A and B are shown apart, each in its own frame.
Chain A
Amino acid sequence: MTLADSFLQALNLLFSGDSQLWEIIATSFAVSGQAVLLITPPALLLSFVLAYGRFPGRKLLITLSNSLLALPVVVIGLLLYLLFYSHGPLVNLQLLFSRPAMVIGQMILAFPIVVVMAHSHLQGGDRRELETVQTLGSGRLNMIWTLFVEHRYALLAAVLAAFCRVIAEVGSSLLIGGNILHYTRNLATAIAMETDKGAVSQSLALGLVALLLALGLQFVVSHFRGSGRVE
C-alpha cells in the first residue's frame, strides 16, 4: 500500500463515522480539557502574583516555572507511575491506568506552560494599569478580575497553547493511562499503538485528526494573539 492509498483510506475512515475513532477523539478532549480547566485558575493566579507581587522567593518561583517547561513528559509519566504502581506510596488511590491519572499527568505538563506564557505577557505590561485599578477603588479580588479581563486574549492564548501541547503528548498518557480501549485510549496513544501494529491507514487517520485539531486550535490562538506584528 502506497502512502497515497493510506492517506485516502485515512480520509475515508475519518468521514465514515467510525465509532471507535470518534470515541478516541472524545477521550482526548475529555482528558485534556479537564486537565487544562483544572489548572487554569491557579496558574493564572500564580502568573498574576509573579507579575505584580513583591515578595521573597518570587524570582526563584519564576525560574522554577521556566525550568518545569523543560521537564520531559515521559519523566512526568514515570514519576506518577512510581507513585501509583502496586508498590508505590499512593497505590491505595488506585489511579494507575485510569483517566484521572492521565488528567494529573497532563495537569503537571500544562501548569508551567500557562504560568510562563501568562507571566511573560503580564510582565511586559505597565504598572499604570495596576495603579489605576487601585486608585479607582478596586478591592484585591476585583483588581485581579479587572486585569484578567483586560488581558483576556493573551491569557486565553496561553491556555489554548497549553491545551494544544497536552492533547498531543504521548509519554505520560501511555505510561499511566495504559492505552485501554474504551477508557484511556486517546489520540496520541492510539497513533503510537497503530503504528506499532503496522496499521498505517488507521494511524494516519488519527494523525490527520490530531493535525486538524492542532491547526484549528492554532488558528484560534493566532486570532487571539492579534496581527503578530508591532502596531
Chain B
Amino acid sequence: MTKPLLQLTDLRRRLGRRVLWQIPQLTVPAAGSLLLRGHNGTGKTLLLKTLAGLDKLDCQALQLHGLNVAQSRWQQQLRAVTVYVHSQPWLFERTTQSNIAYGLQRQGLRGSHLRERVWEALEWAGLQDLAGQRARQLSTGQQRLLAITRAWVLQPALLLLDEPLAGLDQMARQQLLELLGHLAEEHRTVLWTSHEGVADAGWVDEIWQLEDGQLSREIYRGRQASAVVSFHRPASHIKL
C-alpha cells in the first residue's frame, strides 16, 4: 500500500486565543484530487498555507512519505514538496513565459532545457499565443491559468490551489475545471478549495469539509462522485 504523502498529528491553528481549527490527524494521500470545502472564514486558506510551509506550523508530528521529519526542518520540507497558488495570484512584472521559467530557474534549469520545459507548460495550458505578453495585462482567468501552470511545471508532489474557480466566467471556469481534471489524472496530489458547489467536478477523490474548527473527510475514490459534489453536506462523514 502506498504511504501517504503527508501525515500531521494534532494540527491546530490559533488566531490569538481562539482556536481556528484543530485536526487530530491529517492525512494527505500520495495521489488524488482533494477538494477542501468550507464557508468563508473557516480557515481554508490558512490550512493550505500551513501545508505549503508558508504559515506557522503548530502540530505534534509531521511525517513525509511515512518518515518522521525533525521539527527544525518542517517548514523547509513542506516547501520542498508543495507549491501554493493564491486565489488571486501574484504574477511577476514579466512576460508569461518568464513567469513560468522563474521556478524552473530556481531548480537550476538553463538554456534549451529550460526553454523546452517552458514551452511544454505553455502547450499544456494552451497559453502559447500569450507567451510574450506581459503577465499582468492578462485577464483574471488567464492570470489564474498562468499561475497554476507556473506551479504545475515544477512537478510538486502536492499542488495547493486556493479558490481556483472563484470569480471566473462560465468559459474560464470550464477551462480551469478541465485542467484540474487533467491534474487529477497525473498521479500527484492536488488539494483545492472552494466555498461553492462544483457539480461538474466528478473526478474529485476526496472532499474535506472544514466546519466549526473541525475537518471531516468524505472519500469518493472509485465511486461516481458527480452527483455528490454538489455540496450538500454528506450523509455520513469521518471526523478527522
Contact = CB atoms under 8 A, between A and B. Distances in A.
Q: Do A and B come from one complex?
A: yes
Interface stretch (A7-15, A26-34, A133-141, A177-185): A133-141
Interface in A146-172: 146, 150
Contact of B82 (A128, A135, A146): A135
B54 A135 contact: yes
| Chain B, interface residues (CB within 8 Å), range | 20 to 34
A128 B88 CA distance: 9
A196 interface: no
B103 A128 contact: no
Interface residues of A, number: 14
Nearest to A150: B93
Contacts, number: 45
B158 to A, nearest CB: 11
Interface in A108-156: 126, 128-129, 131-132, 134-139, 142, 146, 150
Nearest to A136: B103
Interface string B63-107: 000000000000000010011101011101100000000110011
Interface of A: 126, 128-129, 131-132, 134-139, 142, 146, 150
28 contacts: A128-B86, A128-B88, A128-B89, A128-B90, A131-B49, A131-B52, A131-B84, A131-B90, A132-B90, A134-B54, A135-B52, A135-B53, A135-B79, A135-B82, A135-B83, A136-B83, A136-B102, A136-B103, A136-B150, A136-B154, A137-B103, A137-B106, A137-B107, A137-B154, A142-B106, A146-B92, A146-B102, A150-B93
Interface of B: 49, 52-54, 79, 82-84, 86, 88-90, 92-93, 102-103, 106-107, 150-151, 154
